């Protein structure tokens, strides 16, 4: 960590706080060695098992909410496509925010499922039913890594139609599926297709289908032929930090497996909804990570840890730079910089002069800035050697505000 020391103040006031590298620079090599040995993937924390509550005294039972329509009994006539679509439309709504529109569907009279990118970071959204009625829903839970959000209504309708939840694990190649939503703002739009594949993209199990999915379909249900939701449609599929896959074109359309959402609704991690790697259904699955991919993952984790340490030092330098400009600089700084002291490497950016007596302070700031630059370049080269992709390295530098173009990274 960069430390501070005092420099002379020509006005006789308390000296300007400036940065000194101290033991931080000396310990950089030790930090890297420590990170290599200690920053390794940790097993996920075990799920919290809910304890059973003591039985409450007997009381008059409240009338239960209206359950979803049961599946056809054995030997009964299967529902027609028109009946499946009709029930689905009654449970699907349009989600409206200040940034756009998407879809959602009722899984209980007071709860709906949608995508995280549909709610766009809002705490409350407006839902519009198929009959035009609107209501306000609270964003109760989100899982950005799985692009799943749960909405809750304060005043649910007891007669609200809901969609039962199935499982993507029961799917077969060529099985018929139906997507319902509000693509391009056109509410109650229905498309039909087949299951192309079941894939593992990062931590997320997704259903690939040729049923057309367009902007506005996101958050709507992907139904099987019985009317059960087996996925949540997503136009832009994001799987954690890596760049996502865009659907809605060339038959490459995706839905988040409903099994992840079922876990979230039950208060568990969506990761517990991951399907077994071999469930015997013959659908394509991504093979286990190769040795090279494991090396890239480990290299990314180490690179991010080193950037996080450098960012702490850079934050301290930000404050010292601001004090130096306030007390020891006369003039203006031309241009806009993610961190103000990046102007030290931009020709013509410093359109002024430093006050006599602050030369030592400027030299110390410049020295610390050069050290952060050198360590950033070294960390990036180590990550490149470890096989970390350029896009991943750039995203991490941007995350920690250490992506100054003047460094040549």
**Residue 35 in tokens:** 């990170």
Q: Which of 117, 145, 196, 300 is catalytic?
A: 117
SS3 125: strand
117 is catalytic: yes
DSSP label of 13: S
Distance (Å, whole) CA 336 – CA 327: 20
Q: What are 344's two structure tokens?
A: 């030290």
Catalytic site residue from 110, 147, 380, 403 = 147
Active-site annotation holder among 103, 218, 269, 376: 218
Q: Which residues contact 87 (CB under 8 A, 6 or more apart)?
A: 69, 79, 161, 163, 227
- 147 a catalytic residue: yes
Angle between helices 291-328 and 390-399 (to 10 degrees): 30
Examine the residue annotation and report whether 260 is marked as an active-site residue of this protein: no
Region of 147 (left: φ > 0; alpha: ψ -120 to 50; beta: rest) is left
The set of residues, in sequence order, having a beta carbon less than 8 Å from that of 356 and lying 6+ positions away, is 10
C-alpha distances (whole Å) from 141 to each of 103, 116, 125, 280, 357 are: 16, 9, 13, 33, 56
Q: What are the catalytic residues? A: 117, 147, 218
């Amino acid at each position: 960590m960069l430390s501070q020391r005092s420099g002379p103040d020509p006005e006789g006031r308390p000296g300007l706080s400036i940065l000194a590298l101290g033991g931080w620079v000396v310990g950089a090599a030790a930090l890297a060695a420590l990170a290599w040995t200690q920053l390794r993937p940790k097993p996920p924390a075990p799920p919290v098992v809910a304890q059973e509550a003591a039985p409450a005294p007997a009381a008059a039972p409240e009338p239960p909410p209206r359950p979803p329509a049961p599946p056809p009994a054995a030997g009964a006539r299967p529902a027609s496509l028109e009946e499946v679509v009709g029930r689905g439309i009654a449970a699907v709504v349009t989600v409206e925010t200040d940034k756009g529109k998407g879809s959602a569907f009722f899984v209980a009279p007071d709860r709906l499922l949608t995508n995280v990118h549909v709610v766009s970071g809002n705490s409350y959204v407006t839902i519009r039913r198929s009959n035009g009625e609107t209501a306000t829903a609270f964003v109760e839970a989100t899982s950005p890594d799985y692009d799943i959000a749960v909405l809750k209504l304060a005043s649910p309708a007891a007669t609200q139609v809901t969609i039962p939840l199935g499982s993507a694990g029961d799917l077969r190649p060529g099985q018929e599926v139906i997507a319902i939503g509000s693509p391009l703002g056109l509410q109650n739009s229905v498309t039909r297709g087949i299951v192309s594949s079941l894939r593992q993209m990062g931590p997320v199990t997704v259903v690939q289908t040729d049923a057309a999915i367009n902007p506005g379909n996101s958050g709507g249900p992907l139904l099987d032929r019985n009317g059960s939701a087996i996925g949540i449609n997503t136009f832009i599929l994001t799987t954690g930090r890596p760049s996502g896959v865009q659907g809605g074109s060339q038959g490459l359309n995706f839905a988040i497996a409903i099994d992840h959402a079922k876990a979230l609704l039950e208060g568990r991690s969506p990761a517990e909804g991951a399907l077994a790697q071999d469930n015997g259904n013959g659908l394509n699955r991504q093979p286990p990570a190769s040795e090279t991919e494991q090396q890239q993952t480990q290299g990314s984790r180490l690179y991010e840890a080193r950037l996080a340490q450098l960012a702490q030092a850079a934050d301290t330098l930000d404050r010292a730079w601001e004090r130096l400009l306030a007390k020891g600089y006369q003039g203006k700084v031309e241009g806009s910089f993610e961190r103000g002291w990046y102007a030290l490497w931009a020709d013509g950016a410093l359109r002024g002069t430093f006050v006599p007596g602050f030369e030592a302070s400027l030299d110390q700031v410049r020295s610390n800035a050069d050290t952060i630059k050198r360590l950033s370049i070294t960390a990036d080269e180590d990550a490149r050697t470890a096989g970390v992709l350029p896009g991943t390295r750039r995203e991490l530098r941007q995350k920690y505000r250490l992506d100054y173009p003047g460094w040549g990274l």
